[in-house]
Structure 1
Amino acid sequence: MTDQSTRSPGIAWITGAGTGIGRALAHRMAKEGWTIAISARTRSDLDGLAAEVPGKVHPYPLDVTDADAVNQTANIIAAELGTIDLAIFNAGTYHRTSATNFDVSKFASMVELNIMGTLHCLSSVIPTMIARRGGHIAVVASVSGYVGLPGASGYGATKAALINLCESLKPELEAEGVQLQLINPGFVKTPLTDKNDFPMPFLIEVDDAIEHIVTGLQSTRFEIAFPWQMTLAIKSLRNVPHWLKFAVTRRMVRR
């Protein structure tokens, strides 16, 4: 397996780079010498970031739910910047969902963006990476995908799907010389979490999240999960008997 993408700067493509983790990660990696293609739906967000790191960050506006547009964008990036060494698929959204307000449209929008958008992106880079037996992919899911939590039935389900997807693809891609990693953040202070009106245990600043991600991408481990306190708490909850799990999650139900 080639280690070009993890050992030395090359060409990276980051989706969901308009705000939050994606934006901060692009900024950090550009300063470390990477040439970054950034994608998001809002052109002004991308242009603003590109202006902050001139010559190293290149905007490619994109709606990842459009499969044809994703393929075209991947091809344009490769033609204009060079072979994509590292692809970080971070685009996603969150809507609170509940049994008392079971809004299927919210579920559908998260499935379309969080799952299908990621699948479109994977489809755009996997064939070429397999063909050259090299490349590095990182998919951003969430610790909420470990266990079902009240209020996150939609979001958590989409992130659980991504976790399962990556666990399935990992050995297959590895056999073809392609590295796949899974990024599972807990609560990170971003515009996405700023709208939450409930307690967010172990909330960390975005710069701390980026430090975890950058360090993890330089390693060979499969999962990059943080902060450790949140990861330990949620994984422990996943592994306890159901009676104990529900004794805990019942306390999270909003009245």
Structure 2
Amino acid sequence: MKIWLSGASSGLGLALARQLLSDGHQVAVSARRAEPLQTLAGDFPGQVLVLPADLTDASSVAQLAQTLQHHWAQLDMAILNAGTCEYMDVQHYQHALLEHVVRTNLFSASLCIEHLLPLLRRSAHGHLVAIGSSATFFPLPRAEAYGASKAALRYLMESLRVDLAAEHIAVTLVSPGFIDTPLTAQNDFPMPMQLTAEQAARHIARRLPAQPQEINFPRVFIAILKLLNHLPAALRLAVGQYLSRNAKEDQSNKEHP
């Protein structure tokens, strides 16, 4: 199978690339930094197509798609993994921060979809996959920018699933809990049921062949978030405020041990 994967230079993307390559697939990998991609190609000779790109830049994505078409002609699966996570301090609300996160997590995915859909259409079993977040199941403290970008990505993917069904292109949204990556290493709050990048990659790779509509994990963590979201509005607000207070206390304790 020919697979394109973004954000493959570190964290979940790198672990997922290694898992897919170990499973015998051909994988085109993209990220801004070429060096980790070249290292990956050296570890899996003949299986890796290195396509460094800035996915927030339209011309860069267009060039990526042209190169991919030149080498492969078609694409069986596209995995939109590239993204960022930055938290908002509501005392100093910044539109620029939200704009940056939405551009990175949503607009870059949209650019890739525009340019890669024609290649997916050439496959007999095209599969579009996006890495979302469990943050879309319940509003979390300081996640205004990150949560909004991932909630928009969820709606985009769910709408695409409806419109692409007639073309037999499957659409899967992956919504993981906390994963140990360079991004989450910067978090200053407890991360329950956290998985390693390798554990998450194995789980995703195992589920992808069935082309499910969603891949959500860990199950218990997701179930708790969904249960919280079904509470009455007043209780949801109370839980959110409790989590917000705890997050502030954890941050303060780390800053002033």
Where does structure 2 lack aligned partners over 5 or more consecutive residues? Answer: 250-257
Match of 1:150 among 133, 141, 147: 141
In the alignment, which residue of structure 2 is the partner of 1:198? 189
Q: Which range moved further: 66-75 or 56-65?
A: 66-75
- Relative to the length of structure 2, the TM-score reads 0.91
Matched residues in 1 for 2:117 and 2:88: separation?
A: 33
Q: 2:31 is aligned with what amino acid?
A: A
Amino acid corresponding to residue 42 of structure 1 in structure 2? R
**3-state SS of the aligned residue for 1:100?**
helix
- Residue 117 of structure 2 corresponds to residue 126 of structure 1: yes
2:92 aligns with 101
**For 1:158-186, what per-residue CA distance to the aligned partner results, in whole angstroms no more than 9, with x for missing partners?**
00001111111112111111111001111
What is the CA–CA distance in structure 2 between the aligned matches of 1:202 and 1:132, rounded to whole Å? 37
1:29-64 deviation line (CA, Å, top 9, x unaligned)? 111111110000011121122222222122111111
Q: What code does the residue aligned with 1:13 have?
A: W
* Equivalent of 2:7 in 10, 13, 16: 16
**Paired residues of 1:89 and 1:138 also in contact (CA < 8 A):** yes
Partner of 2:31: 40
The Cα of 1:98 is off from its aligned counterpart by 2.5
CA contact (8 A) 1:225 1:231 kept: yes
Distance 1:220 1:85 in 2: 12
The counterpart of 1:227, out of the listed 218, 225, 231, is 218
Instruction: Give 1:133 shift.
Output: 6.1
Task: Identify unmatched segments of 5+ residues in structure 1.
Answer: 1-9
User: 1:71 deviation in Å?
Assistant: 2.0
Instruction: State yes or no: 1:248 paired with 2:239.
Output: yes
User: Aligned partners of 1:97 and 1:181: how far apart in 2?
Assistant: 28
- 1:55 aligns with 46
How far apart in 2 are the matches of 1:122 and 1:57? 21
Report the structure, 1 or 2, having the larger helix content: 2
How many residues align? The count is 246
Query: d(CA) in 1 for partners of 2:5 and 2:214?
Result: 18
Q: 1:123 to 1:101 in 2, by over 3 A?
A: same
Identity of aligned residues (%): 35
Quick one: which amino acid aligns to residue 100 of structure 1?
A: Q
Q: CA deviation at 1:82?
A: 3.9
- 1:205 is displaced (CA, Å) by 1.1
Question: 1:133 and 1:54 mapped to 2: Cα distance?
Answer: 27
Question: How does 1:49-198 map onto structure 2 within 5 Å?
Answer: 49-130=40-121, 134-198=125-189
Cα distance in 2 for partners of 1:71, 1:229 equals 40
Distance 1:245 1:208 in 2: 31
Kindly report the root-mean-square deviation, in angstroms, between the aligned alpha carbons of the 2 structures.
1.5
